Structure 1
Amino acid sequence: MASCALSSLLSRSSSSIYRLTPSIDTMKASIRLRQLLQDDGVIVAPGVYDGISARLALEAGFSALYMSGASTTASMLGQPDLALATQNDFVQNATMITGLSPGTPLICDADTGFGGPVMVARTVTAYARAGVAALHIEDQVQAKRCGHLLGKQIAPLPEFIARIRAAVAARAKISDGDIVLIARTDAAQGLGMDEALKRLKMAVEAGADVAFLEGVRSREEVVRTVKELAPTPVLLNVVHGGSTPDFTVEDARSLGVKIVTVPAVHGIRAALESLKASGSDVPTAGGMGPKAFFQVMGLDEAIEIDREAGGGSFSELY
């Protein structure tokens, strides 16, 4: 049955990713992600934070998406990544994004799990119910900050491992619980690589599926992380202007990284700066008029649903 579901997923037309009503035979996203982790190649997950960014990433054909805490906080609250957004904010945003294409894996930031082991368990359960394919839990203190800012405070090792164990236990209690658990450490900045890798190894021993060293500062650190964590897959978060060098996907592949996440906000900023400087959005608009934009947002299916129901409200849109 799983192979039939995979064939169905891979044979869908490109337009099907924009469907308003997902097909019932769509493969579960977490299973799809686990298969991608077993396949050759790098999983590239662009940062998405709302309906528009998610739809555009799907249109571009990415096999996975990434929702960070920074982008969620910025898009929903207009605030910096300083532990201001709540678990409900994260889950609400994730639920909207997964609903656009349930078969496309969404990897989500879960910050510290939003509290102690009980809250971590609730977070895992809520994300799983929302259709999230994977989540990462970090080892900062509750009053956390973006991983590419200075002054991060790191929780004691036993507290971090308790978070991972709580996540693993919560997953085990979910029917068909196969959400991918990613252990993230921010310890390299203040405590050094030895401590950071020790934390990741212990997290994997506790049941984490993927290792994530945030704020990687050099190629050498990536190589060491991949080597010492093998065969556990490693995630690399490439943030332009942050702590991590501007690695390309090919760089990541050559270094043995399995998942690469990349923010998308830089492209939006560049387009707005171009508009401000030139007085026109033509250089960056790329020929996307209203019709093309709304088709990406699911217009054609909305028309189809209305027509099949006997309505005629949208028969002359274009």
Structure 2
Amino acid sequence: MKKRTTKYSDLSKPQLIKLIEEMQETFYQEDIDKNERELATFPWIGSLGQWHWIVETDRLLFNERKATNLGYKREEIPDEVGFEFFTSKLHPDDYERVMDDMRNYLMHESDAFEVEYRIQTKDGKYIWYYDRGTTTKEDENGEVLTISGIVFDITKRKVLEEELRESNKKLKQLVDIDELTGAFTRRYMLDKIENEIQRYNVEKACFSLIMLDIDHFKLVNDNLGHNIGDTVLKDFVEIVEKTLRKKDTLSRWGGEEFIVLLPDTNLSKAVKLANEIRIELNHICMKDAGIVTASIGVSNYYKGDSTDSAIKRVDDLMYQAKSDDRNCIKY
């Protein structure tokens, strides 16, 4: 039996356009099948295959793995899918960013559509996708008609990145936070003071330092034991921190010595704050140790000071207080 052939001359213009569109979609699907066969043997970990978005009709052709990876069965995927099938499942915090990236690409403001995002699975969980696409067809005016791309499941990589961030965060805490008292470490304070000096050089923003040394702390350890001594150190930090402002920084300088950085604070304000700390210490009875006082030095930053010279001056003032009556302030 002879196969019937279509006489294109008998077709109307709308029929011809429809036929051409159907042929284009057939070619795209054949291209997808060809690429999927190639991808099956290509070692791209996490690849979910290619996709093609026909912009004008909002027709999205894609490897079904892009959807089945989200927990949907093949029969649950509509025969015709638009861009919104996937964008409606984007994490709320990622939606605008993905939309902006696509809009920028369509307006020729970027070289490629390239974005990472969280997308919701059928059971409500979120996994990570990486999408990258580029124009494969455009009209005579340069308007994008078809974008083709490839998508990857990068969830495992994102989990590893988050684990690495958490590990780095814990490591930074070990470096920056004194394990016993919860105050910042000496190293952290040195960096903070250096930053304040740089800020002074640019903005002329003054700052001051307070150095505190717990009076007769050796007697606490010798007479009451190191466990009580540790408790005194922790209680001391808690009392001082309650007196400080949010922008101030307290660090353990060594042993029973502590230093406070006061940004945007001149000498008179620093002395006032130091006296508030001294009075607060004199009014709180620490468990088993009674009233614990401190010898305090206060100094502001002078133009030309280095970190070392600024610290030495406040340290010398603190030792003057310690050499005199203790439980006092020298500035």
- TM-score above 0.5: no
> TM (normalized to structure 1)?
0.20
State the structure with bigger RCO (CA 8 A, min sep 6), 1 or 2. 1
> TM (normalized to structure 2)?
0.19
Q: Which has the larger radius of gyration?
A: 2
